[in-house]
């Protein structure tokens, strides 16, 4: 069926609730790409770039493409590719075209696109926009050439009289930069350089919006000149701010704490919490909402709403977000996720030995912890008899001379206690307390020390209930004998 351009725009507007003027550049579907290099690491900055691309695609009803920039042949392996796939999948950023899923514009790995590059190189050669020098292929700018001595580089360079290249950035607005020197597009070893393959792929894959880190803003003038030389439409650009390390100068590098997605996976962060945190680093819904459904973010996300200044990473805010998600998690999913976490943890064997107990303990832990990584330390004493007594807590609690008396009274009362539910246990301890003219608190601290080795944790009544009479008795007696 035939559709007019107006009809198309109207439909797109209706379908995406998007401002029509944002479509001035393109008459077709939005196509964005995320183009990581398989280095064996997946950086949090890359994750956010991927996320913003994905959000924009989902917001506009467009296509999110994964393209692998693996031209650096030496340090590539399937393993490294899997890091990318795993990280994206874990974050929930599914791609519509790319490796594993295919698409009409493949292949999606640069290492498999050599023929495309030579074809495009030929176009440029035919157009007279290249020349060879020192065995490399250079891109020829259009204009009058002149020589000038560069003090900083300590050599004479050839410059070209050209007008500045204008970039209309969706986030930064109008940016101008003078691109006045020819540059290499194919190295003397025959490998095309990043600028060239990047632009060729964007043309070949019909990318409409290039959303990437600000570190590429200065490169963009090169890219724009290449697009023009190919006679291809220049895509819309959107350069998103960088993530700075939380302490010290500079952007976050892979050596910084918290820089790698892998680390969050290992530490048991909830991916939806990390994604929510990342959404808010450089973007906001223009109201006070913070914990948001991803569907709401998709609806509200737009490029002009992205901030222009770099953002410092804040692990405490992320931890808080993770806790908020943990608290809101349906119980059974919490237990299931906790199980997955323990399966990869050394303490997991003991913890998972008794599924019933494990579940009970996890129910106690859910409202108390900030992240799954706290679980082994927080719940260890439930699964192990040889837990350690915190020396500081022990000294403090056992410093009171009556502590041993309280312990003895508890042991004596224990056989007749109803341990079937928390309120019964509470009643029993209260009864014991009042009969000795004391309060619940007089038994709480010493009992807690005896059964858990510490002064923090779930309610003492719950610990008694889950542990059961025998183990509680053993632990109380052990502490009494010890002191």
363 binds RNA (CB under 7 A): no
User: At closest approach, how far in Å is the CB of 208 from RNA?
Assistant: 21
The tokens describing 391, both together, are 């020396």
For 148, 151, 160, 161, the CA distances from 154, given in Å and listed in that order, are: 11, 5, 19, 21
Give the residue, chosen from 31, 251, 406, 465, that forms a contact with RNA under the rule CB under 7 A. Answer: 251
Closest CA to 164 of 209, 240, 220: 220
List CB contacts of 11: < 8 A, sequence separation 6 or more: 3
User: At closest approach, how far in Å is the CB of 172 from RNA?
Assistant: 4
User: At closest approach, how far in Å is the CB of 301 from RNA?
Assistant: 13
Give the residue, chosen from 178, 293, 349, 412, that forms a contact with RNA under the rule CB under 7 A. Answer: 178
User: At closest approach, how far in Å is the CB of 10 from RNA?
Assistant: 28
Query: Residue 60 or 322: which CB sits closer to RNA?
Result: 322
Give the residue, chosen from 231, 250, 330, 401, that forms a contact with RNA under the rule CB under 7 A. Answer: 250
User: At closest approach, how far in Å is the CB of 9 from RNA?
Assistant: 26
Q: Give the number of residues in contact with RNA, rule: CB under 7 A.
A: 78
* Distance between CA atoms of residues 184 and 136, nearest Å: 7
Give the residue, chosen from 16, 206, 265, 284, that forms a contact with RNA under the rule CB under 7 A. Answer: 284
Give the residue, chosen from 217, 297, 450, 479, that forms a contact with RNA under the rule CB under 7 A. Answer: 217
255 binds RNA (CB under 7 A): no
Specify the stretch interacting with RNA by CB under 7 A; choose among 99-107, 171-179, 264-272, 384-392.
Answer: 171-179
Binding residues for RNA restricted to 30-49, rule: CB under 7 A: 37
Give the residue, chosen from 8, 116, 160, 193, that forms a contact with RNA under the rule CB under 7 A. Answer: 193
Give the residue, chosen from 19, 145, 266, 317, that forms a contact with RNA under the rule CB under 7 A. Answer: 317
Binding residues for RNA restricted to 417-476, rule: CB under 7 A: 426, 429-430, 433, 439-441, 444-445, 448, 455-460
Yes or no: say if 268 and 371 are a contact pair by the CB < 8 Å rule. Answer: yes
Binding residues for RNA restricted to 127-146, rule: CB under 7 A: 133-136
Active-site residue set: 254
323 binds RNA (CB under 7 A): yes
191 binds RNA (CB under 7 A): yes
Binding residues for RNA restricted to 297-316, rule: CB under 7 A: 307-312, 314, 316
User: At closest approach, how far in Å is the CB of 324 from RNA?
Assistant: 7
Binding residues for RNA restricted to 364-403, rule: CB under 7 A: 367-370
Give the residue, chosen from 128, 173, 304, 408, that forms a contact with RNA under the rule CB under 7 A. Answer: 173
Backbone φ/ψ region at 69: left (φ over 0), alpha (ψ -120 to 50), beta: beta
51 binds RNA (CB under 7 A): no
């Amino acid at each position: 069926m035939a559709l007019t351009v107006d009809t198309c725009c109207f439909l797109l507007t209706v379908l995406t609730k998007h401002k029509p003027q944002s479509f001035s550049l393109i008459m077709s579907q939005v196509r964005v790409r995320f183009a990581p290099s398989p280095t064996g690491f997946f950086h949090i900055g890359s994750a956010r770039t991927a996320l913003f691309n994905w959000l924009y695609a989902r917001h506009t009803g467009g296509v999110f493409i994964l393209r692998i920039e693996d031209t650096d042949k030496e340090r590539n392996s399937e393993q490294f590719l899997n890091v990318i796939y795993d990280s994206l999948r874990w974050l929930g950023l599914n791609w519509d075209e790319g490796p594993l899923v295919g698409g009409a514009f493949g292949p999606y790995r640069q290492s498999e696109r050599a023929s495309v590059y030579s074809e495009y190189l030929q176009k440029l050669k035919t157009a007279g926009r290249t020349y060879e020098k020192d065995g490399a292929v250079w891109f020829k700018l259009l204009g009058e050439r002149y020589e000038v001595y560069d003090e900083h580089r300590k050599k004479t360079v050839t410059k070209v009289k050209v007008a500045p290249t204008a970039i209309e950035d969706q986030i930064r607005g109008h940016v101008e930069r003078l691109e006045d020197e020819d540059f290499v597009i194919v190295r003397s070893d025959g490998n095309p350089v990043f600028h060239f393959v990047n632009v060729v792929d964007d043309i070949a894959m019909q990318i409409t919006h290039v959303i990437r880190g600000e570190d590429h803003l200065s490169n963009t003038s090169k890219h724009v000149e290449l697009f023009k030389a190919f006679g291809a439409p220049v895509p819309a650009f959107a350069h998103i701010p960088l993530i700075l390390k939380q302490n010290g100068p500079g952007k976050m590098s892979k050596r910084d704490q918290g820089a790698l997605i892998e680390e969050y996976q290992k530490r048991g962060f909830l991916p939806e919490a990390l994604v929510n945190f990342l959404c808010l680093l450089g973007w906001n819904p223009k109201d006070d909402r913070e914990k948001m459904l991803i569907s709401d973010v998709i609806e509200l996300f737009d490029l002009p709403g992205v901030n222009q200044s770099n953002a410092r990473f804040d692990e405490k805010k992320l931890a808080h977000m993770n806790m908020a998600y943990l608290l809101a998690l349906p119980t059974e999913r919490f237990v299931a996720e906790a199980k997955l976490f323990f399966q990869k943890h050394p303490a997991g064997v003991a913890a998972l030995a008794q599924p019933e107990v494990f579940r009970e303990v996890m129910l106690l832990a859910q409202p108390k912890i900030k992240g799954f990584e706290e679980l082994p330390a927080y719940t260890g004493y439930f699964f192990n008899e040889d837990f350690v007594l915190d020396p500081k807590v022990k000294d403090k609690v056992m410093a009171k001379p009556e502590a041993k008396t309280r312990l003895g009274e508890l042991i004596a009362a224990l056989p007749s206690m109803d341990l079937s539910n928390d309120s019964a246990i509470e009643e029993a301890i209260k009864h014991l307390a009042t009969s000795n003219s004391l309060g619940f608190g007089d038994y709480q601290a010493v009992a807690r020390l005896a059964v858990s080795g510490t002064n923090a944790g779930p309610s003492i009544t719950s610990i008694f209930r889950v542990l059961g009479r025998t183990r509680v008795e053993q632990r109380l007696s052990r502490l009494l004998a010890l002191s």
